[in-house]
Structure 1
């Protein structure tokens, strides 16, 4: 019973928490909805200006996908290959700079795949 309460409380906290930049980067539809309601309902912790600049960046990614899907797919594959080699290098030697680059690439890959899901899924 105690575990059920903890699980429900955690879900409630997560569900009611405000969305940050990373959330909107991997949920383009939520970003679009937040911008539509932005003047009337100021989202927190991001301002309308921050949401707009984030939307511009996401639209650039979407434009790349729509103008040349094959090149965009190659870009995703190249990023995945780079990440695999970075992970292999990190297993042999700890390098904080390489680890930071790997984290940056993971976020970029998440953004790319989120845009693909958003634009290419049957529900969109």
Structure 2
């Protein structure tokens, strides 16, 4: 019993000292682009957990500069600003927030969802000049 309590405390301390940001796991998620178009939406539990775990395991950036813009906004109960090129993200807030960076594999996964959704949307869009 004592050893499991010690391991739990060590895990929680390690999570606080070295882990990424706290992120809740919602039932649905949406991602908007800079034009406020919804570019991804899902209620798939595995997808949402993969996104949230990626954010939780992100690394705090040493250079905590304020960014001028991000390419996307992610809704995971709280809103996150996300740059798909750099993998940087920041909690949307009126106060200054830490800048985090997704690990490469998490950035690639998230970007693949955005790319896949873009391709699906364009496949269902009929150009105005197309013959009827």
Q: TM-score, length-normalised on structure 2?
A: 0.26
Higher strand share: 2
Higher helix share: 1
Q: TM-score, length-normalised on structure 1?
A: 0.27
